[in-house]
Amino acid sequence: MPTLNWIGKDAVVTHHQDVPYRLLEPVAELSCLPSPTGANSARSRANGSRADERPNETREGWGGAGGEGSESADNPNGNLIVQGDNLLALKA
């Protein structure tokens, strides 16, 4: 049976063992509360508006359609932006 061999193959095969272990650290002021109507519904209610009353807002380059009720002015497609040390934890 043929095998593939190349220079540096050992480094590629064992790379997963070289990635440092990191913990996800929650930051309360940057967290979004889980809710069935969308990521920013608590913020919307605090401002006196309802998520279903707002028109769907999309921006150039944001990708357009999002998940169920997850669109907002800050994040129209419902994705979470992870930055800093927690990004390193997710990569690990």
User: Domain for residue 58, yes or no?
Assistant: yes
Task: Answer whether residue 7 is part of any domain.
Answer: no
Residue 2 lies in a domain: no
pLDDT of residue 8: 93
Q: What is residue 27's predicted lDDT score, i.e. its pLDDT?
A: 78
| Dist. CA 37–CA 35, nearest whole Å | 6
What 3-state class would DSSP assign to 68? coil
Q: What is the CA radius of gyration of the chain?
A: 20
Q: Give the H/E segment covering residue 65.
A: none
pLDDT, position 20? 77
Domain hosting residue 74, numbered range = 31-92
pLDDT at 70: 43
Residue 11 lies in a domain: no
Task: Report yes or no on 38 lying in a domain.
Answer: yes
Residue 57 lies in a domain: yes
Q: For the chain, what is the domain count? A: 1
pTM: 0.26
Measured distance CA(92)–CA(75) in Å, rounded: 25
Q: Is 61 contained in some domain?
A: yes
The span from the CA of 86 to the CA of 44, in Å, is 26
Query: Which residue stretches of the chain have pLDDT < 50?
Result: 39-42, 44-45, 47, 49-70
pLDDT confidence of residue 84:
65
